Structure 1
Amino acid sequence: MKEKPFAITLDVGSSLANRTGAWRTERPEYVDRMPPCNQACPAGENIQQWLFHAESGDYESAWRQLMRDNPLPAVMGRVCYHPCETACNRVQVDNAVGINSIERFLGDEAIKRGWTIEAPSVSSGMGVPPAGGWGSVLVVGSGPAGLSAACHLRLLGHEVTIREAQEKPGGMMRYGIPRYRLPREVLDAEIARIEALGVTLEPGTKVDDVLAAQREDGFDAVFLAVGAGIGKRAYIPAGDSARILDAVSLLGSMEGEGPPLLGRRVAVYGGGNTAMDAARTARRLGATEAVVVYRRTRDRMPAHDIEVEEALEEGVRMKWLSTIKHADEGRLTIERMKLDESGFPQPTGEFEELQADSVVLALGQDSDLSLLRDVPELAVDHGMVQVAEGLMTGRQGIFAGGDMVPAERTVTVAVGHGKKAARHIDAYLRGTANEPGGKHAPATFDRLNTWYYSDAPATVRPRLELARRVSTFDEVVEGLDESTALFEARRCMSCGNCFECDNCYSVCPDNAITKLGPGRGFAIDLDYCKGCGLCAAECPSGAIEMVPEE
């Protein structure tokens, strides 16, 4: 019988002979999961990756990663309604990471520092050209979808021409979003960067017949990105002197020589974001009273909460459960409504008067589809162009996106459409098919080990003082500075993906984990890993999972 256990009779260093991995019934594996922010982004941004660069202070690398998916970061950092933040896992710890504010910081930093991107050339190795050479693509409309498509197509090596009906580019970003939300110098800077890639921009050039334009100028493909620039009208019985205009015309006129005369009391009929913009614009134009008349209750309002809150802060009044029955000079007849069991508003027969010098209709918008009247293969349903999965219409070589196709009408969705269309147009010109890669499993909150993340409430973006908000068109929401942007980026929990915190390396009782170097992650020596699962249990981001041994 031995006097000492075998293990302590081994010479120094000889424990390597005992390959304890043979005891294992399951083994750890490093995995990559889809962060909820990435999954929720309509523009398809790799948010977690550019946040990784930003939290290290490498802002230019973060911006370049961001630009791979979104060529308008300074714009999106102001007008995007950031569904990524709604989906952020950190909201269950304290507050969502301020992704949108960091995106704006990166966009502004790029403008300030003059960062640019370059279109590839044949000599720089951009790949094999399509049969017949690189394609020539016509983009109709210079809004977010059109600009995004043009940028991505140019980066893929194609010649791109944008034709815009208005005198200045930007589409509804210029003619539908007020300056206090999107300063024009920011919009102009990001458009100029896209134009500098070699995109041909032709403002003041309306396309009346898309087939004729394609045929006469020899374009190989067309991307239709006509925004929703026509305000919907509703029949309202009115006297001869009643002043009624639509919100799209009001907001668009702010880019002209002089603002319209609305009077001291303005009623805005509608409940969307455009209605909020119209009412807030009216206040800045001198209206002492701006009232939003809406048929339903606030919780059923299509406007985003932040838009409603900012409007209320600026003195805009809300008249819920109300509809306009008649308009006369200086006054409106309002009927009270009530919601039935299905939530639909029904008249009550109760009336009241509302003093108003003008009425602004904000009842939705349509796209001008007159350029498509001679395209029989193209299907239109309820004013929307019908497209396949790759955004191609019923006519070969003609694609469409943005406000004119069935989708949510936001700048972010339109930017995503532009990128998606560019990839499918590129594949069409090459005679191939664009096959998106598979997606990783989602990185859910229950997989995180949040004990390792310290409390760090979100940074609140400063806002312009109220007195200046209602008297000027100065930007209301201000940006982060470098220190607050860095702090905010470092709040990211890297959900579902390794960020090399060294926890697994530190806690492994078998020293079975090897560091491969910065940016290369770790390797597991399965000869010695017993499969205890401690690394997976202690991984903060849920980037290790235990799988049964084969």
Structure 2
Amino acid sequence: TGFKVLIIGAGPTGLSAAYHLRRMGHAVTIRDAADLAGGMMRFGIPKYRLPRNILNAEIARIEDMGVRFQMNHRVDNVQDAIDDGFDAVFLAVGAQIGKRAYIPAGEAARILDAVNVLHDVADGEAPLLGRRVVVYGGGNTAIDVARTAKRLGADEAMIVYRRTREKAPANDTEIQEAIEEGVLMKWLSTVKHADAGVLKIERMELDEKGFPQPTGEFEELEADSLVLALGQEVDLSLINNLPDVEVREGTVHVDSNMMTGRAGIFAGGDMVPAERTVTTGVGHGKKAARNIDAWLRKEKFEKEPIPKVVEYSDLNPWYYSDAPHAVRPRLEGARRASNFDEVVQGLDESTALYEARRCMSCGNCFECDNCFGVCPDNAVIKLGPGKGFEFNLDYCKGCGICVTECPSGSIIMIPEKS
């Protein structure tokens, strides 16, 4: 197309945007301060959740498309990057700065940051956590650190969180897997003081509105280190010289098209108000790519209407044979704690094909020929493999048999216009 787009950040949001922009024909360059692409997928998510060979293969596919990666290239000034001749810029910097909390501590207390711990482990530099590790926080990062500590040889890893398990932001599956691996959980508790080898913990209780309140009841926990996992923030210093880009409560304000207050500069992922997950970031990348493409072409991106959701009641399951779902292989808890092997593994090729055949293709025609076979008026015309069917309305009398007999609910009857 002749247009050049700069993406700042090689995490899930930036990689997703690069993939879609390249498919649209634009020249795409990604700049990132790290030596390897992947962002928090590489430096925040442990290997037992995301094997690095899988991540590397996905990044290689994007690079093979012609996306240019400039690693070890920290962008401190977006304006200078714009002056390099790019037509649009997408800000996709991840939240890699751990939030700090004031916890009174003695000089010998060992207090670490969860993000740095996971980053060091990803770099192959095992941090000195000790035999007894306490992680303060209830999110996925806290769970990851506790499970990682067990894999690094800690005798005891414990989560301390001020709310209940039901209120913890971590995925329940992650919590359960951590418990299976021997991670201890201490809910409704908060850290009041840290010292060498010991923590002072206060028990909390819920008030009538369900909010945790201090009780004045304390206990001591033996701990060689305290790891803080209280959330993460984005380094927004790269936009300090852009007064048109508005920052609200630590995130960048964007419009419905993901554009900032400065024309041609877009933002997404952790930089904007949204759930901070890989899935959300990938979605933001795709949405941003569509809007950047439309802006470059001086067009307006028209969002496709959401199709009707086909419910189970719209299907005709009589045509489907019962087929139990395949269970993905999982490492037993005892085998997990000593290595970083993938816990929930993928399916082999034959099992994956079997699972694909279980799909009911809800709302989508898969050319089963039912409508063609049951039509009493020969109004259904086969267009050939992969092309579906056509209905000759001159022959169709609207009996609705084809709709009734469609297994996937992909045929809809509408009143004929007079």
TM-score (normalizing by structure 1):
0.73
Q: Is the 8 A contact 2:46 2:122 kept in 1?
A: no
Q: Distance in 2 between matches of 1:514 and 1:372?
A: 59
Is 1:296 paired with 2:147? no
Q: Offset of 1:511 from its aligned partner?
A: 4.1
Secondary structure in 2 matching 1:548: coil
Q: Deviations over 1:374-433 (max 9, x none)?
A: 111111111111111111111111111111111111112111211221222222222222
Spell out the pairing of 1:169-180 with structure 2 (5 A cutoff): 169-180=37-48
Q: Equivalent residues in 2 for 1:235-384 (5 A)?
A: 235-384=102-251
User: 1:492 aligned to 359, 364, 374, which one?
Assistant: 359
Paired AA for residue 156 in structure 1: M
Q: Does 2:337 align with 1:470?
A: yes
CA contact (8 A) 2:79 2:242 kept: yes
Q: How many positions carry a matched residue from both structures?
A: 417
Displacement, 1:505?
Answer: 2.6
Q: Give percent identity, aligned residues only.
A: 68
Cα deviation, 1:73-128, whole Å, max 9, x if unaligned, reads xxxxxxxxxxxxxxxxxxxxxxxxxxxxxxxxxxxxxxxxxxxxxxxxxxxxxxxx
Secondary structure, aligned partner of 1:292: strand
User: 2:19 corresponds to which residue?
Assistant: 151
Is the alpha carbon distance of 1:539 and 1:396 closer, same or farther for their aligned partners in structure 2, counting shifts above 3 Å?
A: same
Distance of 2:283 and 2:96 partners within structure 1: 20
**Other structure's SS at 2:210 match:** coil
Cα 1:194/1:511, change in 2 over 3 Å: closer
Distance 1:520 1:179 in 2: 43
Structure 1: how far apart are the matches of 2:412 and 2:52?
Answer: 49
Q: Report matched runs for 1:122-271 at 5 Å.
A: 129=1, 134-215=2-83, 217-271=84-138
**Higher percent of residues as helix:** 1
Q: 353-362 vs 341-350, which deviates more?
A: 341-350
The structure-2 alpha-carbon separation of the partners of 1:374 and 1:193, relative to structure 1 and needing over 3 Å to count, comes to same
| Alpha-carbon separation, structure 2, partners of 1:259 and 1:233 | 22
| Counterpart amino acid of residue 245 in structure 1 | L
In structure 2, the CA distance between the partners of 1:208 and 1:262, relative to structure 1 (3 Å rule), is same
Q: Which of 406, 413, 416 matches 2:280?
A: 413
SS in 1 for 2:414: strand
Aligned AA for 2:320?
Y
Match of 1:454 in 2: 321
Pairwise CA distance, 1:221: 1.3
Letter of the structure 1 residue corresponding to residue 294 of structure 2: A
Change (3 A) 1:257 1:502: closer
Q: Which residue of 2 aligns with 1:75?
A: none
SS in 1 for 2:413: strand
Mind listing any 5+ residue stretches in structure 1 that lack a counterpart? 1-128
Which one-letter code corresponds to 1:397 in the other structure? G
SS at match of 1:249: helix
SS of the residue 1:296 aligns to: coil
Q: Distance in 2 between matches of 1:526 and 1:142?
A: 52
Q: Which amino acid aligns with 2:414?
A: V
Verify: 1:537 aligned to 2:411, yes or no: no
The AA in structure 1 aligned to 2:405 is E
Instruction: Please give the alpha-carbon distance, in whole angstroms, between the structure 2 residues aligned to 1:547 and 1:433.
Output: 31
Structure 1 residue 457: Cα displacement? 2.2
Greater RCO, CA 8 A, separation 6+:
1
Cα distance, 1:492 vs structure 2: 1.1
Q: Deviations over 1:413-461 (max 9, x none)?
A: 1112112212222222222222223232222222122232222222111
Residues 313-350 of structure 1, C-alpha deviation per residue, up to 9 Å, x if partnerless?
11111111111111111111111112223322111222
Q: Residue type of the partner of 2:27?
A: E
**Structure 1 vs Structure 2 CA RMSD:** 1.6
Q: Which residue of 1 aligns with 2:382?
A: 515
In the other structure, the counterpart of 1:429 is 296
Q: Give 5+ residue unaligned stretches, structure 2.
A: none
Cα distance change, pair 471–429 in 1 and its aligned pair in 2 (3 A) = same
Work out the CA distance in 2 between the residues paired with 1:508 and 1:213: 63
Distance 2:262 2:150 in 1: 46
The structural deviation recorded for 1:289 is 0.7
Taking the aligned partners of 2:75 and 2:191, their CA distance within structure 1 comes to 37
Partner amino acid, structure 2, of 1:223: F
In 2, Cα distance between equivalents of 1:168 and 1:393: 28
Whole-Å separation in 2 of the counterparts to 1:538 and 1:177: 47
Q: CA deviation at 1:257?
A: 4.7
- TM superposition shift of 1:528: 4.3
| Counterpart residue identity of residue 467, structure 1 | A
1:445 paired to 2:312? yes
